[in-house]
Amino acid sequence: MSFSSACKRPSGSSKGTPAPEGERKYLIGGNWKCNGTIASLEKIISEFNAAGPIPANAEVVIGCPAMHIPIALMSLRDDIEIAAQNCSLTGCGAYTGEIAASQLKDMGVTWVILGHSERREGFGMAGEDSELVAKKTKKAIEEGLKVMFCIGEKKEEREAGTTMDVCASQLKAAADILSKEDWANVSIAYEPVWAIGTGLTATPEMAQETHANIRAWVAENVGQDVADAVRIQYGGSMKGANAADLLAQADIDGGLIGGASLTMDFFNCVNGVPSP
């Protein structure tokens, strides 16, 4: 018996109508980053467990700090999936400090966040380049995980008009090594770096324009079938106050939410998902 199957997680509940066949299901992801204590984790899990039903046309995932994953797998409602915030390029072996995708899968984790701008930039250490992020993505998929693949431009790049050049270069590294079948296990998380944690947010129209351009790039460089199916999340300071307007856009299929996911405002984002 696996660890996850042995856990008696509280049952969740759903409301509304599932996404019609052939339509993309919304993906609302939370990224807790390097935050939380045992006490704060227990508090937010208790609040999420009591937050009421999740729209039937939405998939909800929380990215936990690695040491908190077992607690979430034991106590968070069972209709919220658990993601890791990183995994290694390698399998198991003599790789001190690394966490292999196969270990995450064995624990019961289903998703991993890769290529987040904070890891691409680095924090007191070398950042991860696009080729490394792509290789990690391939390895994670091979081990049975699904990937939120993060891309996005900095403020000076948007002002210079190179947003899609940046996004395309980050996507190309993945497109070069992923098969069409692999893309069924990838969600693209577009996170304008200038809007992460700053309180700044792209307008719904700005975000939609970039999402549409990303989908067009995927159609041209991977395939129209993949472009039609792949989910593209928005990740620049989404919160309850703006979630509904962002999620109403044709090419915005969810969010990857940072600060708001540490509070009950996360469920305001979840409940901002439009009805089918």
Annotated catalytic residues are: 116, 191
Q: Are 215 and 232 in contact (CB under 8 A)?
A: yes
Q: How far is CA 66 from CA 120, 141, 146, 151, 174, in A?
A: 19, 19, 17, 22, 25
Q: Residue 208, SS3?
A: helix
- CA–CA distance, 272 with 140 (Å, rounded to integer): 30
Residue with tokens 């196969």: 102
- CA–CA distance, 10 with 5 (Å, rounded to integer): 13
Question: Tokens standing for 52?
Answer: 């009421």
Sheet strands (E) in 8-163: 14-15, 26-31, 54-55, 58-63, 80-84, 111-114, 146-151
* Single-letter residue type at 266: F
